[in-house]
Amino acid sequence: MRIFKFGGASVKDAEGVKNVASVLEKVGHQNTLLVISAMGKTTNALEVVIKNYFEKSNDLNASIQEVRKYHNQILIDLFEDEEHNVFFAVNSLFNDLEYFIRSNKSPNYNFVYDQVVSFGEIVSTTIVSYYFNEKGLTNIWLDVRNFIKTDVTYRDANVDWEETQKLIQEGVDKNKLYITQGFLGSDSNNFTTTLGREGSDYTAAIFAYCLNAESVSIWKDVPGVLNADPRYFENAVLLNQISYREAIELAFYGATVIHPKTLQPLQRKEIPLYVKSFLNPLLPGTSVSKGADLEPQTSCFIVKKNQLLLSLSSLDFSFIMEENISEIFALFHQYKMKVNLIQNSAISFSVCIEDKFNNFEELRNHLAKKFKVSFNENVSLYTIRHFNEKSAATVETGKTVLLKQISRETLQIVTKE
């Protein structure tokens, strides 16, 4: 069985949905499970709904209606008959969303976040499934929350692999076409959880691992894995083949084309991963598979924006020792900070971190009780794999370098633009 993942850009409008159907007609659709994300920027729009909900904003209802209107336009563009059952199905889902907003009693932001943003994927896959059936691509719609079981770490849930594998193996017929949601799971009480932003790639890998799939294909609006993000670097080139190890390194450092958690389950069963273009589906794209000889022959550039460079030093000029570092990392874990770079000296300790849960102020106050705290906001972290002098100069030119770290294969630079 093959696993295909289509992201939000591929289904951002009616033409996108039609194109996904065209891709399947060109590459085949038997024995395939599709993992599909929310349409376009729907997750961002639902985050606005959540913000308005917690701020008790007068814009709450308008922000919900904005999401409803966006999807209704896609329905109108896809289906000629507005009495089609899909209109009632989608309307019912938005009624469920509004009911949750009215009736929720939980003050837990992360819990509410997962219950609300999940509607993006549920609505998206409902529309695509109905459209495919209309066009003769007979499929079965799966609610992924009945298959991927997790703990209660809302917004970044951990998969219960044993239970998930049992449910998937029992519930999926490898000879049929399925459509399901990326990014989502559910806890033991059947409340919705999410696997982290952009987690649909990981969903595809979970299904592939549990079904011993022949391959996973991630369909993007780029021709494959490029050596740099074309939004930030000119003359990006396609990497035709890379190893699991290299792909894991690139994902770890922040390459957005593959979600970081995706590769490990595939590598464990040596399931090949293909990154291909939904605009040119017959092109080979990039293949990710086993092999030490698949290292890129060119420098690879990764940039992470909106980082925090945090520097800690002891209040009494004493050394920062292992016990201090252990305590600091315990706090990073407690406040859910993503650490992307570490550098230390005798009396100082610097890290480049990502504050995706907006907990930095609390962390800073906690650290200030024991350390002198200084920081730079909105810095950029550049990582160059297989660097050379020319590639380093490309990144450093015209920027203020705040920190630089070099290892055998990798150069990392923190800059202020």
Which of 213, 241, 264 represents a domain boundary (last residue)?
A: 213
Burial of 80 (0-12, 13-18, 19+ CB in 10 A): exposed
pLDDT digits (tens, 9 = 90+) for 95-109: 999 999 999 999 999
> Both 87 and 206 in a single domain?
yes
> Both 204 and 317 in a single domain?
no
pLDDT digits (tens, 9 = 90+) for 377-402: 999 999 999 999 999 999 999 999 99
CATH number at residue 105: 3.40.1160.10
265 lies in some domain = no
* pLDDT attached to residue 316: 81
> Both 83 and 195 in a single domain?
yes
CATH number at residue 408: 3.30.2130.10
Number of domains making up the chain: 2
> Both 190 and 306 in a single domain?
no
pLDDT digits (tens, 9 = 90+) for 329-357: 999 999 999 999 999 887 789 999 999 88
> Both 158 and 13 in a single domain?
yes
> Both 73 and 192 in a single domain?
yes
Closest listed residue to residue 84, CA positions, set 127, 142, 138, 39: 127
* pLDDT attached to residue 259: 76
318 lies in some domain = yes
> Both 98 and 205 in a single domain?
yes
Q: What is the pTM of this model?
A: 0.85
Check the annotation: does 377 bind a ligand. no
In DSSP terms, 276 is beta-bridged to 219
pLDDT digits (tens, 9 = 90+) for 360-376: 999 999 999 999 999 99
Residue-wise burial string across 146-165, b where 16 or more C-beta atoms lie within 10 A, e elsewhere: ebbbbeebbbbbebbeeebb
> Both 345 and 197 in a single domain?
no
Which of 213, 247, 274 represents a domain boundary (last residue)?
A: 213
Which of 190, 213, 236 represents a domain boundary (last residue)?
A: 213
Q: How far is CA 44 from CA 22, 47, 351, in A?
A: 27, 5, 28
363 lies in some domain = yes
> Both 307 and 201 in a single domain?
no
267 lies in some domain = no
> Both 192 and 331 in a single domain?
no
> Both 163 and 25 in a single domain?
yes
261 lies in some domain = no
Check the annotation: does 231 bind a ligand. yes
189 lies in some domain = yes
> Both 27 and 159 in a single domain?
yes
Calculate the CA dihedral of residues 253, 187, 100, 139 and round it to 10 degrees: 80
* pLDDT attached to residue 87: 98
Specify the range with the lowest mean pLDDT, choosing from 10-24, 244-258, 392-406: 244-258
* pLDDT attached to residue 249: 86
**CA gap 358, 114 in Å, rounded:** 16
- The confidence band for 234, taking pLDDT boundaries of 50, 70 and 90, is confident
247 lies in some domain = no
- The confidence band for 303, taking pLDDT boundaries of 50, 70 and 90, is very high
80 lies in some domain = yes
Domain encompassing residue 404 = 300-416
